[in-house]
Every structure is written in structure tokens, then in C-alpha cells.
Structure 1
Amino acid sequence: MQQDDLKPGQHRCPGPSTRDIILADGQPVPEALVTEAPQFLGDADIEYARYYDKDFFDLEMKKLWPKVWQWVCRVEELREAGDFVTYEVGPYSLIVMRGNDNRIRAFHNACLHRGTQLRRPGESGWTPELRCPFHGWTWSTEGALKSIPCRWDFPHVKTEEYSLPEARVGIWGGFVFINMDEQAESLESFLGVLPDHMQAGWDLSRRTVTVHVQKELNTNWKAAQEAFLEAYHVYETHAQNLPFAGDANAQYDIFDDHVSRFVHTHGIPSPHYPHPQTEQEIADKMHLPAGTTVPEGRKARSVAADWRRETLGQKWGMDLSAFSDSEMLDSIEYHLFPNMCIFPGVSLPMVYRFRPIGMDPGRTMFDLLFLRPLKPGEDHPETPAPVRIAHDQSYGEAEGLEPWLGATFDQDTDNLARQYRGFQASKKRGETLGNYQESRIRHLHQTLDAWLAKP
């Protein structure tokens, strides 16, 4: 069938698909990796006001963030009784803590006396109790009221009625999630296909954080993550990657209400790249060690995957031979609504999070984590503290990021402030999305609308 005969949403870039490329590697791969689930979700413009309008933002704060599951931290950050992490999204603040009974709870971060936050935003560490810095009201690590200075003056305060209010807590893949809605669906239901797909050999609970970078972005939380939901931008934003990155023939999948995915390949030239290349010339551009050669009959993709298996295997002290070339090279990114991106591959095992800062629609915190796999029997080491960089700093200044990767994140995020200003300056009042390559963006907005429409 000719491209002109296809229905909306069925058009694809001419040439091999991501699935074709992965299967051509000739290796066993997880079935989830080559499963295709495209959806045509419409082609109407998305209004720009959804990104900057204060009333729309306030509606999100009322109907989305206090009712949706969102991850706060890793389980290994809460090893001992008294370990805690504070979490902020918009105006909401919670203290996630392991109690003396070994249970993890999430307390709303406000004293029940006069409302003072019990812990500062972004604070983490250990404490034997939760004590208000204003007047000294004190709660246990299980949230029970312990003491009130001048207790005689508060005969109306019933100890059993003054436990700290809690949010719901769920654990999956080594991540601690919270939900402020007592009536919310279970985390297991919310995750949809994600647990089944991760069973393909991508056990996130057996990974450990090696780098955690936080950066404030001058844009809306939706626009920030949308920059990472498609590979369409590679053509212009990351043009240096066109000789070895399959961007236009990337695969986009919509699995259920809360989960979508893209897969785009490396070691294969972009369909946009106009110059014929040998496999050796492709390898020379792939950040491989100088002098790397591609033997006769081999592909640059295969050679690059072998190099990463050997290099990362030695670095981590583990055997990576069970992972396919695709898992070693390709960008495999799952999105869990509303704000979590998971890369379960091996060489770039990243997790992203995008959340509003305070009540300004144009401020977003971007958390970038790298999680390496653990060796069999290896315990989780200490989790590194987040490295905070300013909005005008380069990712290359963050310790632990390779220079080429830092430059790539700079390219991604440098567009965002200009885009946010453009939302407000544009005479055309909405963005026009591609039917396939930007379907995950439309999926995000349609899912958001469904949440905002709930009573």
C-alpha cells in the first residue's frame, strides 16, 4: 500500500522499522521489546494555554497531583528506622519515612499545632522523631503524637486524634510511590503493563543509583517531559547524532491509560542522513575508543554493543552477555503518567522525573537518575545525594555525567525556555503534533484531561 493510501496515524518513515532493525540483529530479545502498539489519537491542535494559564495549572493542582501515584525516592534511601526524604510537588509537601516498626509511611509535612513544616523542602537524612522547630510539638517515626510543651494548656487535644495525617504508599521496582488520595486505585492497577514488561529482564529493584542530578527548568512540567517523549527533535536538536541514530524510524507505542513507550535505535544512520557510510565510518562517530575497528562482515551496531558489554561489565564486575545488542545500545523509554520516564536498557539506564515547583506554571524540577544493575548477591550501596545545578549551568558541570552526554542534555533543555516564551507570544494559539511521532504527547494530554474531568 502506498503512503498516500494510508489512514491518519498509519504513515511511517520509509525504510526499516525499529522492529526490523532489532530482529535483524539475529539475537533473542524480550518479546516486550518488539511488541508494537501504535494508536492514532486525533490531530487537533493542543492549546498553548494548557502550559502557562494559571487557572489550568490550579486545576491540575486540585485534581491531578493530590490524586495520582508519583514516585518519591528509592527504597534504599530509607534503610533504617528514622530515615526520611521530603518530597515537594506544587504546594504539597510530604515526609516519607521508615518507622521503628520497619514500615514506610508518608506524612503531610505540617505541624498539627500551627502548620509549620516539620522538615525543610528537599531535606533528607535520619531523625529519631519529628519535632516542630517552632514550638516543639513532637511525633514518633510512626506519626503518633509524643509530646506537647505545656501539655496542661491543651486539654482539648486528644493524643489518639493528633497522629500525623498520612498519604498512601506503594513500592514497585525499588521505587517508593505516594498518593494523597485515600480512595485512589491501587498502585498495581495504576502501573498497567509496566510490571509485565519489566519482567523481561529489567528488574529495577536490582539497580542502584550512581548519579542523581537536579536542575530547575524555566518551563511547564508537561513541556519539559514532552521534549523527551519523541525522537522527532533529533534531526535539528541533536544533528550530530544523525550518522548513527535511527530517529525518524523510531517506534512509538501507547499501551494503556498510563503507559507509553518509544524505542529508537543506535548504530544505524538516520533516514535523514544523506551521505552513504561504511560500517567503519558509522562506528567512528559513535563515541567509541579511538582505533575501534569493524571487522569484515560485522556491523558497527554489533561492535558498539560488544564494546559496551565488555567495558560496562568490567566496570560493574558482572556478566552482561545475556543482554541483546538492542538492550545495550538503543533508547528504550517508558513513560508512566504523569511524570516518570524509565529507560530499562543497560548502557543508558536512566530515570527522569518532572514536577512543578511551587505555584508557578513556568517552573519545573527535572530529576535525572542513572541506575546501574547490581551484581548477583550485591547489596545496594549508599545512595548519592542529588547534585543540584542552576538553570543556567551546563549538565557537563555535574559530576558523574560524561561530557558528550552532558552536552546532549544541554541541547535538550536549552530549547525549553524559548519554547515557553513562544507559547505566550504565538499568534497561532496551539501546537500541531505529528500523528505518530508525537502521539505520546497527545496521549499525555488526553490522560490529563481524563483526570481533570473526574469529580
Structure 2
Amino acid sequence: MGDYKTKLPRDPEQPRSHGISYQEMLDEEVVPVPDALRSNTNTFLGSADLPVERYISQEFHDLEVNKMWNRTWQMVCRETEIPNVGDHVVYDIATWSIFVTRTETGEVKGYHNSCLHRGRQLKDENGQSDDIRCPFHGFSWNLDGSFKGSPCPWDFEHLSKEDLQLPEVRVDFWAGWVFINMDADAPSLEEYMGPEMRSHFERWSLENTFKALHVSRIIGCNWKVGFEAFIESWHSLDTHPQIVPYTADSNSQYDIYGENTSRTITAMGVPSPHTRNVTEQEVMDALAATSGRMAADEPVHQVPDGMSAREFMAEINYKEFSALAGVDLSEFATRSEVLDAILYSVFPNFAPWAGFNPNIVYRFRPNGDDPNTALMEVMLLMRFPEGTERPADVPCIELRPEQPWTDCEELGALGDVFEQDMKNVPFVQKGMRQSKKGAVSLGNYQEVRIRHLHQTIDKYVYGD
């Protein structure tokens, strides 16, 4: 059995798990490790409690709506979801509604989803149309936002074409995604993300993927409660016990980059520091049974003598993911990049996985004007061989609020994991409403991304 204890000296000012660190695991790689993975910030952001009102009050929700959601960069869709002239996608966030469309020149533009006549929403759902036409009275616009006409122009001689130009939002692109920002004075998307997102993801090229799965469901908690369940890993011990034999939960690495970007790296094929005397074969058996990495009807894989479960699982994934990408990943990709959960996030609500394994993406949004429910979305990006036709992006599967995630068979073992999370988050929301303490306390290291999220929120809602 491998030695899974850290060899690093203890730092009394920065306590860490006794489990082997992620950086020590990188020392065992057999190909060069990219700088993106060697980055290790060890950020401390304080120890203050967070008031529960941030999650449960309408007042704080209203602050987010009026001071944050309308000033931040947010992912709307993949560029490949609007490939043709007139294709459009509607993005609703709290009380705001925006749609993006591809114009006659091939440009992508974004507009406030409101008719300049009587305010009727212009686009109710995703689709395709030759122009932008209000279903109420027929006011219409060209795809570039210029006014096209109305049924009774003689009654609106007091309005010029300039008055009737559709108000735009800013649009920018990253890694094949379309982003919008309602604030004309906000920094560029590149400046907002910071250098790490662009430099790190150059290696993983999410542009060369297609959306193979998209599932959404309304969940019974504030959007932050849902999001926060995915940006720390140490809840696995009690919430996801089936993954503990192969998940390095409490010795995950957490990184903070500027105001808007953070990252968790949780190693797989390595037992949790909470376990004792787990054999390499037991690690492998748990991986095969519950990780979703292998077909359920495959035989049990015997770990070869002298090889760890992590090494063996990496060899299996090299073959599987190389076939998907049409390139031999074992020649240049680290084991980490085909095994581990490398989860980035861009403030406020976009969280893509990195690496050469199928890339999971999370997005959390308020459910309209309700601070006690949220929309959770899970997407899966898959690679395809260079030189072959890109598969079409799939439409979103919308689960009903009462439906379990396991109803979506396409999620595989992830459906079980998400359903375990759903056993917590509604009761977190309910429990905070009963809190005598009136606050939540965070771990200094393992929950630093949660603290980072709230500190950035504060810069918007209290900054001016």
C-alpha cells in the first residue's frame, strides 16, 4: 500500500491535513507538470463568521440583484449553440432577462429582453428567427438591434429610430463560451477573469469540445448554498461516503486568484486521510463501482503488482480519453489531468472543470426573485478527434423540482452524488432560518473559496 501521509513540515500558523499534498502527488508524475498545476496560493482570508441573512433575507437578495448581477460577467451559452444567423439564447438571472443572438454579419450581440413599446419580453425561449419581433403589437427590429418597423408607424412619429434602437449589453467570449455584462463601465472579460483562467486553460482547449449533456433543476436553497456545496471537498466523508476510499478530500488544494477566480484540486485514486489501511485494490474496487469512470458490467480490474490504484486508473483513462480526443494523451498529459477533479470558478456563478477528462461545468442562479430557491445546472463537455465534424450540442434536460437527479440516466454515477447533495442543501437553507447563532463559521483553509465568494460579493453590494 502506498504512503499517503504528507512529508511536508507542519506550519502551526497554517494548519493542513496530514494527508499527502497535491503538490507531493505531482512530484510522482512521469511527464512534465504544467505550471498551471504547480501554482499553489495558500491564501488566508480571515476567520470571521458570515451572517445567515446573506442567504435567507429578501433584502440581501435585492442588493445582489441591483448591485451585483447587473455588473458582473456571466456565461450565457456555448458559441456553437448559436451557429446560424437569427439563432438566439435567453438568459434569465434573478429579475433580469437578456438574450443573445447572431446577427446578419455573424456578430453575436446581446439585448435587454424588453420591447421598447410596452415592455413585453421579446424572446420567451431559445430558438431562431429572421428578426426580433414583439408578440404583443408587432414592433420589430433587425438582428443588429436597429428598428425595423411597427404596424402603425403614423402613431409614433414622436419617436425617432434612435429612440427605438434596442439597448445592448456587452458580449465577450472565452473558451467557446458566450458571456454578457449589463454594465458598460465594467472591466473587460479578460481583465475580470485575471491571467490565470486564460493561461491555464490554453493547455486544455475547451474550445475543441461539444456540449454532450445539459441538465437543470430548481433546488430548495439559496444559489450560494448550492454553489458552496461544490467548491469545497471535505463534505465527502459524511455526504458521499462511497467515494471516500478513492478521494483525497480533506487534503485537497484550494487556490485564490484575484477577486473573481478560484480553484479546488481534489485528487482521485488516493484514499481520504480519514480512512485507515485501505488497500490499493480496495481503492480500485470503489473507483470501479461508484465513480462512473467504468461501465457497470465491466469485470473487476485487478491492480498489477507494484502499481498504485492511481497509476492503474490513469492508464485506463489515458486509453479511454485518448480515443475520444484522437490523440495519445499519455505522451504529454499528467495523471492528474485524466483523473482529478480540477474545478475552477469565475465569479459569481460559473464553474468549469479543467483537464483532459470530460469537463463538467456547473452554474447556479437565483430562481427568479426568491432567495430560498435556485436553479442548478450541470453540463458535460466532451472532446472529439481533430479533423472530424463537431457533434451538435444537446438541448437542456429540465427536471421538475421534485424529480431526483438520478432520473437523468445520462448523468450516470453523478446523479447519485448530486442526489446526496440534495439531502443537505434544502436543510441547510431551513436550518439557517432557525439559527440561534445567526451566523455560519467557515474553515480557514478548506472553505476559503466560500469566504472568497462572499468577499467579492461585498465589493459589489457594499462597495459604493
For Structure 1 versus Structure 2, the TM-score category normalised by the shorter chain is: over 0.9
Q: Give the aligned partner of residue 261 of structure 1.
A: 263
Deviation at 1:285, TM superposition (A): 1.4
Secondary structure of the structure 1 residue equivalent to 2:245 = coil
Q: Distance in 2 between matches of 1:117 and 1:227?
A: 34
Between 279-288 and 263-272, the greater mean CA deviation after superposition: 279-288
String of CA shifts for 1:31-68, please: whole Å, max 9, x gaps.
11121101111111111110011111101111100000
1:174 corresponds to: 176
| SS state at 1:102 partner | coil
Cα offsets for 1:173-201 (capped at 9, x unmatched): 100000001111111100102101112x2
- The equivalent residue for 1:68 is 72
Pairing 1:312–2:312 present: no
* 1:6 to 2:12 alignment: yes
* In 2: Cα distance, 1:259 partner to 1:214 partner: 24
C-alpha deviations, 1:315-357, integer Å up to 9, x for none? 5554332322111111101111111111012334111111112
- For residues 207-248 of structure 1, give each alpha carbon's deviation from its aligned partner in whole angstroms, at most 9, with x where no partner exists: 111000011111111111000010110111011111111111
Tell me the equivalent position of 1:229: 231
SS of 1:51's partner is helix
Aligned equivalent of 2:309, options 300, 311, 318? 300
Q: How far does residue 400 in structure 1 lie from its aligned partner after superposition? A: 1.9
Of residues 230, 234, 250, the one that matches 2:252 is 250
Shift in Å, 1:27: 3.0
Distance in 1 of aligned mates of 2:423 and 2:285: 27
* Counterpart code for 1:119: K
> Partners of 1:249 and 1:344 in 2: how far apart?
19
SS in structure 2 at match of 1:352: strand
Question: Structure 2 counterpart of 1:195, which letter?
Answer: R
Residue of structure 2 equivalent to 1:278: 279
Q: Give 1:81's aligned amino acid.
A: V
| Equivalent position of 1:326 in the other structure | 336
Aligned to 1:197: 200
Find the counterpart in structure 1 of residue 3 from structure 2: none
Question: 2: distance between equivalents of 1:296 and 1:47?
Answer: 52
**For residue 210 of structure 1, what is the aligned residue in structure 2?**
212
Counterpart of 2:63 (choices 59, 66, 80) is: 59
Q: Which amino acid is 2:461 matched to?
A: L
Q: Distance in 2 between matches of 1:72 and 1:219?
A: 22
Q: Could you tell me how far apart the structure 2 residues matched to 1:312 and 1:35 are?
A: 25
| Residue equivalent to 2:419 | 410
CA distance in 2, matches of 1:2, 1:159: 70
Partner of 1:88: 92
Partner of 2:388: 378
* Partner SS, residue 364 of structure 2: strand
2:286 is matched by which residue type in structure 1?
A: K
Match of 2:272, SS?
A: coil
Q: 1:318 to 1:210 in 2, by over 3 A?
A: farther
The counterpart of 1:428, out of the listed 429, 434, 437, is 437
Deviation at 1:375, TM superposition (A): 1.9
SS of residue in 2 equivalent to 1:262: strand
Give the Cα separation in 2 of the matches to 1:27 and 1:300: 18
Question: What does residue 300 of structure 2 align with?
Answer: 291
Q: Using the alignment, how far apart are the partners of 2:77 and 2:105 within structure 1? A: 20
Where 2:305 maps in the other structure, the secondary structure is: coil
1:450 aligned partner: 459
Identity value in percent:
39
Structure 1 position 277, deviation (Å): 2.9
Alpha-carbon offset, residue 388 of structure 1: 0.5
Query: How much has 1:89 moved relative to structure 2?
Result: 0.1
Q: What TM-score results when the alignment is normalised by the length of structure 1?
A: 0.95
Counterpart for residue 52 of structure 2: 48
What does residue range 86-235 of structure 1 map to in structure 2 within 5 Å?
Answer: 86-120=90-124, 123-192=125-194, 193-199=196-202, 201-235=203-237
The one of 15, 28, 31 equivalent to 2:32 is 28
Unaligned runs of 5+ in 1: none
1:21 shift after superposition: 1.4
Instruction: Return the TM-score normalized by structure 2.
Output: 0.93
Amino acid at match of 1:225: F
SS at match of 1:71: strand
Deviation string for 1:119-138 (max 9, x for gaps)? 11xx1121001111111111
In structure 2, the residue corresponding to 1:205 is in which secondary structure? Answer: helix
> 1:40·1:439 contact (CA, 8 Å) conserved in 2?
yes
1:63/1:454 contact within 8 Å kept: no
Distance 1:245 1:323, change over 3 A: same
1:362 pairs with 2:364:
no
CA contact (8 A) 1:208 1:383 kept: yes
CA 380–2 in structure 1, closer or farther in 2 if over 3 Å, else same: closer
Letter in 1 for 2:349: N
- My pick for the range that moved more, 327-336 or 374-383, is 374-383
Q: Give the equivalent residue in structure 2 for 1:441.
A: 450
* Deviation larger for 338-347 or 243-252: 338-347
In the alignment, the residues of structure 2 paired with residue 382 and residue 125 of structure 1 have an alpha-carbon distance, to the nearest angstrom, of 15
Q: 1:309 to 1:410 in 2, by over 3 A?
A: same
Is the CA contact (8 Å cut-off) linking 1:346 and 1:372 kept in structure 2?
A: no
| Separation of aligned partners in 2, 1:311 and 1:347 | 9
> In 1, are the aligned partners of 2:86 and 2:130 still within 8 Å (CA)?
yes
**Which residue matches 1:239?**
241
Which residue matches 1:392? 402
Q: Is the 8 A contact 1:72 1:87 kept in 2?
A: yes
Q: Report how far residue 440 of structure 1 moved.
A: 0.6
Using the alignment, how far apart are the partners of 1:242 and 1:218 within structure 2? 26
Structure 1 position 314, deviation (Å):
3.3
Which amino acid in 2 is paired with 1:291? V
RMSD, matched Cα: 1.5
